[in-house]
C-alpha cells in the first residue's frame, strides 16, 4: 500500500489541486501503468499489486472518480479483507473453489495436494498421470485400468502456497489471496482474501459461490470432523452416504430413529415456544459390531448432516476442552460421543482409585488411531500430535457440556457405548439422552435380511423409496409417540429389540418381504448396491503360447475349482434368494453372533450364496469352538495373570514385612547405639572425674606429705633445736659443772656425741 500511496501522491497532489491538472496526471499514470501491465501476466505476479490495482481503477472508473477515490479514501479503505479460519466451513469451501481456479496452471508458485477421495477429486483443475500422456504415443494405460477395477486414481489438486500473495481475477475484481497461519500459537491456517471495492458484496458473492460448489460436491457424501486436543474441530474424512437400506435392524427401529430425528429438526419453534432447549440426545448401547456407528452414518446421510466425533476415551479430553467443543458445533449436525462409558469409568476411578488407568489407555489410543471400516473412529491427525494423557473429564463436566449454557442448540446428539451398566442415571434427564436404543446380537430376522442385502437379486430395480412407500414397517408406529410428525414433544424413549418382536417378523419375512428388511439387495435410493450386481466372473485367460510346439513343456490344465471360481455372485431370482436367505437364517442361532460377525462370514462367501447358506451350520460350530477356545485361553490367561498378581502381591507383602522388620531392627540397633554412646559418655565422664579426684587426692596427698614432711622437718628442726638447746644446756651445764668442778673428762664426753645422729633421729 505504501508503494501505491507513493505512486499516487506526487501525481495526484493535494485535495486543493486543479482537477484538469490532476486529470492530466492520471492520464500519464494510466499510460505508464498500462505499459507496465502488458508484458506481465497479472494472475501470477506478486508485488505488482499496486500496478494491477491502478490498472483496474483506470479501466473501471472515470478519471475524476479515480481522483476522488485516491484523494478521499485512505489506502486502508481501498482493501476489504476477509479472513477465513480453517476451523470454519468457509475455509473448506474457498479452498475447494481456489483449487479449481485456472490461474494455478499459469502460476509460478503453487502447492499441490493429493486426495484419493472426497471433495475436490473431480476438480477441473486437478490432474493425473493421463494429463501428461503423449497423445501421439500409443498408450496402454486405459487398458491397464480395466485390469484394476475400483482402483483409486489419485488426483493432484492445486492450492495457494503459504505466505505468498496470489492475485486472482473474479467477476471484474482482482482478488489478493494469501494463505497463512494464525500468530496466536495455535498454528491454525487462515485464508485472507482482499479486494478493492466499495462494499463487501463481491466477497459475499465469492463465499456463496464457493459454498454452492462445495455443496454440489458434498451432496453424495457426508463430512466427518474429529475433535482435536485444542478444542477445535478438524475435517477428517468425507464418506459416501450409507444407504439406510444397508442397515439391518429389527423392524421399526431405523424408521423410529429417522422419524424422530427428522421430527426434531423441524420442531425448533415448538421447542422455542415452550422454552425447552432445542436439543435431543440418542443413546445407542449394546454389543460391539451391531450397527450403532453404521446407523448414525446412515442417518447423517439421509438428513444431509455432517458428523462431529469426540471420543471420550481420548487421552487429552478434559471438562474444559469438551465444553469448548460443544460450543463450537454448528447448529445442524450430528454430534457423536463415542465410548460414553469412558467418562464414567474415569469419573469413578478418579473418585475411587486408579486401577482403571491401564484400561483407559487401550480405548484412548483406539479413539485416536483406529480407522474402522464403518465406525467413525480414528481420524487424520494433521499435525501428528504427540499427546500425553491429560484426561481430566469428570461426570459433572460431561453433563455440563451436554446441557450447559455453552452447549449448541439444534444438534442431534448421538452417544454410543458397549457398557450401559457403567453409565450414570443422570444421563436420562431430558435434553441429555431422550431416546435409548439397545443393539443386540443378530436375530434370525436380521440374519435373513442381511443375506438378502448381501447377495444381488435379479429384481434389483426396486428402489428404496418404492420399498419404503409400499410397505410400512411393522411396529414402526408403535412404541414411539414422537414419530408421527404432528406431536414433536420431547420424550424419553427406551427401545430394545426384543426376541419376540423379531421372531414374529421372521415368520412373515419370507413370504412378504418386511419393509425394513432391505428388499433383495436393492441399490436403494438410486445409490450403488453394496456389491456389484453384474457378475464379473473370472474366465480363464488363454494359456501362454510359448512352448506349444514342445509338448514336453505344456503347462498342466487349469484346475476345476480355479476355473469355476468367481469373485461376485450371479444375481439370484427372488425365490432362490428367499430360500437361501431363510436357510441361512435357520442356521444362525438367535442373538448369538453380532451382525458384524455374520457379515464377515458372508464376505468370505461373497461369490457363493449357496455355499454361504449351506455352510453356515459348520461356521457356527467352528465359531463356537473358536469362541470356546478363546474363552478358555482367556480364562487361562486371566488365571495366570491372577496367580502372578497374587504372587506379586505376596512378594510385595513379604518385602514389606522384611522391610518393616529391617526397620525395626535398625531402630533397635540405633537405640542400642544410643545407649552405648550414652554409657561410653558416662564412663568417660566417670573416668575423667576419677582422674580429677585422683589428681586431687594425689595433690592432697602431696600436700599432706609435704605438710607431713614440713611437720617432720619442723619437728626435726624442733628436735635439733631442742637437742641443740639440750646440748647447749648440757654444754652450759657442763661448763658450769666444769667451772664448778673442774672436770676435764666430762667435757670430752659431750664433744663426742655426733651432731648428725641427732638430726636423723629427729627426722625419723
Ligand X SMILES: Nc1ncnc2c1ncn2[C@@H]1O[C@H](COP(=O)(O)OP(=O)(O)OP(=O)(O)O)[C@@H](O)[C@H]1O
**Contacts with ligand X, residue ranges (CB under 6 A):** 246-249, 288-294, 372-375, 416, 418, 439, 595-596, 599
Given the complex with ligand X, which of 247 and 325 has the nearer CB atom?
247
Q: What cell numbers appear for 304 in the block?
A: 444431509
DSSP, residue by residue, 599-618: HHHHHHTTT-HHHHHHSHHH
Q: What cell numbers appear for 51 in the block?
A: 500496478
CB of 247 to ligand X, least distance (A): 4
Given the complex with ligand X, which of 313 and 482 has the nearer CB atom?
313
CB of 112 to ligand X, least distance (A): 33
Q: Cα–Cα distance between 409 and 279 in angstroms, integer?
A: 6
CB of 339 to ligand X, least distance (A): 9
Given the complex with ligand X, which of 70 and 443 has the nearer CB atom?
443
CA 677 to chain centre: 63
CB of 415 to ligand X, least distance (A): 12
Q: Cα–Cα distance between 593 and 498 in angstroms, integer?
A: 15
> Taking the alpha carbons of 211, 217, 222, 224 in that order, is the dihedral positive or negative?
negative
Indicate the Cα dihedral angle 203, 208, 210, 212, nearest 10°. Answer: -170
Q: Cα–Cα distance between 110 and 157 in angstroms, integer?
A: 10
Q: Cα–Cα distance between 50 and 192 in angstroms, integer?
A: 18
Given the complex with ligand X, which of 91 and 451 has the nearer CB atom?
451
239, containing H or E segment: strand 233-240
538, containing H or E segment: none
Q: Cα–Cα distance between 611 and 566 in angstroms, integer?
A: 13
Given the complex with ligand X, which of 99 and 441 has the nearer CB atom?
441
Given the complex with ligand X, which of 52 and 417 has the nearer CB atom?
417
CB of 254 to ligand X, least distance (A): 9
The answer to whether 497 and 440 are in contact (CB under 8 A) is yes
Given the complex with ligand X, which of 294 and 315 has the nearer CB atom?
294
CB of 293 to ligand X, least distance (A): 3
Given the complex with ligand X, which of 125 and 246 has the nearer CB atom?
246
CB of 234 to ligand X, least distance (A): 21
Q: Cα–Cα distance between 254 and 515 in angstroms, integer?
A: 11
Given the complex with ligand X, which of 288 and 525 has the nearer CB atom?
288
Q: Cα–Cα distance between 505 and 582 in angstroms, integer?
A: 12
CB of 243 to ligand X, least distance (A): 10
* Listed residue (297, 254, 260, 244) closest to 463, CA to CA: 244
CB of 236 to ligand X, least distance (A): 16
Which residues, including other chains, have CB under 8 Å from residue 713's CB and lie 6 or more apart? 763
Given the complex with ligand X, which of 294 and 522 has the nearer CB atom?
294
Given the complex with ligand X, which of 47 and 150 has the nearer CB atom?
150
* Listed residue (596, 613, 452, 455) closest to 531, CA to CA: 455
CB of 468 to ligand X, least distance (A): 17
H helix count then E strand count, the chain: 26, 14
SS3 416: strand
Question: Radius of gyration over alpha carbons of the chain, in Å?
Answer: 52
Name the closest residue to ligand X (Cβ).
291
Q: Cα–Cα distance between 527 and 648 in angstroms, integer?
A: 59
CB of 449 to ligand X, least distance (A): 8
Q: Could you identify the residue written with the cell 486502508?
A: 76
Amino acid at each position: 500500500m505504501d508503494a501505491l500511496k507513493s505512486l499516487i501522491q506526487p501525481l495526484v497532489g493535494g485535495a486543493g489541486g486543479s482537477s484538469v491538472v490532476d486529470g492530466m496526471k492520471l492520464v500519464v499514470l494510466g499510460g505508464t501503468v498500462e505499459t507496465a501491465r502488458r508484458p506481465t501476466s497479472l494472475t501470477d505476479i506478486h508485488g505488482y499489486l499496486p500496478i494491477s490495482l491502478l490498472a483496474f481503477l483506470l479501466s473501471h472508473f472515470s478519471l475524476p472518480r479515480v481522483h476522488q477515490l485516491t484523494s478521499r479514501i485512505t489506502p486502508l479503505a481501498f482493501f476489504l479483507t476477509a479472513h477465513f479460519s480453517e476451523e470454519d466451513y468457509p475455509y473448506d469451501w474457498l479452498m475447494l473453489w481456489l483449487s479449481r481456479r485456472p490461474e494455478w496452471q499459469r502460476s509460478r508458485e503453487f502447492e499441490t495436494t493429493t486426495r484419493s477421495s472426497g471433495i475436490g477429486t473431480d476438480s477441473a483443475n486437478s490432474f493425473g498421470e493421463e494429463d501428461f500422456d503423449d497423445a501421439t504415443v500409443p498408450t496402454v494405460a486405459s487398458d491397464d485400468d480395466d485390469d484394476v477395477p475400483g482402483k483409486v486414481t489419485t488426483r493432484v489438486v492445486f492450492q495457494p502456497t503459504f505466505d505468498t500473495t496470489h492475485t486472482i481475477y473474479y467477476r471484474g475484481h482482482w482478488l489478493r489471496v494469501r494463505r497463512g497461519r494464525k500468530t496466536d500459537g495455535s498454528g491454525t491456517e487462515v485464508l485472507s482474501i482482499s479486494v478493492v471495492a466499495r462494499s463487501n458484496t463481491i466477497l459475499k458473492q465469492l463465499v456463496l459461490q464457493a459454498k454452492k460448489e462445495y455443496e454440489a460436491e458434498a451432496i453424495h457424501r457426508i463430512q466427518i470432523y474429529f475433535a482435536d486436543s485444542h478444542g477445535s474441530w478438524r475435517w477428517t474424512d468425507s464418506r459416501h452416504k450409507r444407504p439406510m437400506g444397508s442397515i439391518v435392524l429389527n423392524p421399526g427401529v431405523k424408521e423410529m430413529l429417522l422419524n424422530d430425528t427428522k421430527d426434531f429438526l423441524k420442531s425448533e419453534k415448538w421447542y422455542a415456544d415452550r422454552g425447552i432447549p432445542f436439543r435431543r440426545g440418542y443413546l445407542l448401547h449394546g454389543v460391539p459390531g451391531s450397527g450403532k456407528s453404521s446407523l448414525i452414518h446412515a442417518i447423517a446421510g439421509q438428513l444431509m448432516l455432517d458428523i462431529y466425533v469426540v471420543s471420550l476415551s481420548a487421552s487429552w479430553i478434559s471438562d474444559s476442552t469438551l465444553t469448548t467443543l460443544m460450543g463450537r458445533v454448528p447448529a445442524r449436525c450430528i454430534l457423536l460421543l463415542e465410548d460414553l462409558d469412558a467418562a464414567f469409568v474415569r469419573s469413578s476411578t478418579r473418585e475411587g482409585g486408579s486401577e482403571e488407568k491401564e484400561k483407559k489407555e487401550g480405548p484412548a489410543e483406539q479413539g485416536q488411531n483406529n480407522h474402522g471400516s464403518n465406525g467413525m473412529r480414528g481420524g487424520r491427525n494433521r499435525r501428528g500430535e504427540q499427546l500425553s494423557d491429560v484426561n481430566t473429564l469428570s461426570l459433572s463436566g460431561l453433563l455440563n457440556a451436554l446441557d450447559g449454557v455453552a452447549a449448541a442448540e439444534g444438534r442431534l446428539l448421538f452417544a454410543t457405548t458397549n457398557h450401559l451398566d457403567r453409565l450414570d442415571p443422570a444421563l436420562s434427564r431430558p435434553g441429555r439422552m431422550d431416546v435409548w436404543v439397545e443393539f443386540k446380537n443378530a436375530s434370525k430376522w436380521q440374519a435373513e435380511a442381511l443375506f438378502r442385502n448381501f447377495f444381488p437379486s435379479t429384481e434389483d430395480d426396486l428402489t428404496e423409496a418404492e420399498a419404503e412407500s409400499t410397505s410400512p414397517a411393522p411396529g414402526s408406529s408403535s412404541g414411539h409417540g414422537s414419530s408421527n410428525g404432528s406431536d414433536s414433544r420431547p420424550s424419553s424413549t427406551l427401545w430394545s429389540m426384543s426376541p419376540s418382536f423379531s421372531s414374529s417378523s421372521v415368520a412373515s419375512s419370507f413370504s412378504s418381504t418386511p419393509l425394513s428388511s432391505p428388499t433383495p439387495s436393492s441399490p436403494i435410493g438410486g445409490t450403488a448396491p453394496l456389491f456389484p450386481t453384474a457378475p464379473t466372473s473370472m474366465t480363464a485367460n488363454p494359456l501362454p503360447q510359448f512352448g506349444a510346439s514342445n509338448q514336453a513343456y505344456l503347462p498342466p490344465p487349469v484346475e476345476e475349482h480355479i476355473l469355476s471360481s468367481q469373485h461376485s455372485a450371479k444375481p439370484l431370482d427372488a425365490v432362490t434368494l428367499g430360500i437361501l436367505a431363510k436357510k441361512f437364517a435357520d442356521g444362525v442361532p438367535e442373538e448369538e453372533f453380532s451382525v458384524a460377525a455374520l457379515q464377515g462370514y458372508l464376505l468370505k462367501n461373497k461369490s457363493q450364496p449357496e455355499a454361504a447358506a449351506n455352510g453356515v451350520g459348520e461356521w457356527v460350530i467352528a465359531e463356537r469352538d473358536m469362541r470356546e477356545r478363546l474363552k478358555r485361553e482367556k480364562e487361562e490367561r486371566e488365571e495366570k495373570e491372577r496367580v502372578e498378581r497374587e504372587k506379586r502381591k505376596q512378594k510385595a507383602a513379604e518385602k514389606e514385612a522384611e522391610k518393616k522388620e529391617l526397620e525395626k531392627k535398625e531402630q533397635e540397633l540405633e537405640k542400642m547405639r544410643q545407649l552405648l554412646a550414652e554409657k561410653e559418655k558416662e564412663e568417660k565422664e566417670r573416668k575423667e572425674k576419677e582422674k580429677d579426684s585422683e589428681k586431687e587426692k594425689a595433690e592432697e596427698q602431696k600436700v599432706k606429705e609435704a605438710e607431713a614432711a614440713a611437720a617432720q622437718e619442723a619437728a626435726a628442726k624442733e628436735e635439733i633445736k631442742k637437742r641443740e638447746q639440750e646440748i647447749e644446756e648440757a654444754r652450759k651445764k657442763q661448763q658450769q659443772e666444769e667451772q664448778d668442778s673442774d672436770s676435764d673428762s666430762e667435757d670430752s664426753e659431750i664433744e663426742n656425741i655426733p651432731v648428725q645422729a641427732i638430726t636423723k633421729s629427729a627426722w625419723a
